[in-house]
Chain A
């Protein structure tokens, strides 16, 4: 099983600031099959990024993903009020598909 570790646990930022979220995989993620999701209180997760860097349909270009080895990064360039919530990474390279424990992005 691939274990995903996310950091930081909480990120306190102001609207307009840049957010950088990290996700480390315990082993190589084949074809960089890693996704990022956003979850707001009481809602289901929403797919933002797949294959490490491809934006899902309808996702604004302020969201971007990158990878270096087993280190994956989600960057939000200029936080909007609606971007605050919890972000999860997920690998889908091997079964079981696993999620990280999440990073909460909160308003400073």
Chain B
């Protein structure tokens, strides 16, 4: 069964840092681009960041560029997101999502259950 399992969410103060992780199983991890997508309470999803399977190329939404860092470990089938300088508007459920078409930025065919990040003093 294809599965993504996020961890690392929690409550953090503005300006603080948090590291999210996503454990992947059931598919050939090193052949698919991977993403983080977030959803603020009552809002639609927002793509945050992506990383290529093979080249390691990274992509970021303007709203997180310079503050968030995506990485992956293909030997451990894990995806990470290091979030620095967190702000209140970063509060959201963060989902790990698999690209549907291999190492190509496409639709998201598998999602994790999400991990909640709350930024508040």
Q: Report whether chain A binds chain B.
A: yes
User: Which residue numbers of A lie inside 8 Å of B, CB to CB?
Assistant: 33, 35, 37, 43-47, 50, 56-57, 88, 90, 92, 95-102
Q: Describe B's contact surface by its main secondary structure.
A: loop
User: Which residue numbers of B lie inside 8 Å of A, CB to CB?
Assistant: 43-47, 50, 59, 61-62, 95, 100, 105-109, 111-114
Q: Describe A's contact surface by its main secondary structure.
A: loop
The answer to whether A47 and B112 have CB atoms under 8 Å apart is no
Q: Given known contacts A33-B107, A50-B109, A92-B106, what 4 new A-B pairs fall within 8 Å (CB)?
A: A37-B108, A43-B113, A44-B113, A97-B47
- Known contacts A96-B47, A96-B61; decide if A50 and B106 are in contact (CB<8 Å): yes
The answer to whether A47 and B107 have CB atoms under 8 Å apart is yes
The answer to whether B46 and A44 have CB atoms under 8 Å apart is no
Q: Which of A35, A44, A57, A88 contacts B112 (CB 8 A)?
A: A44
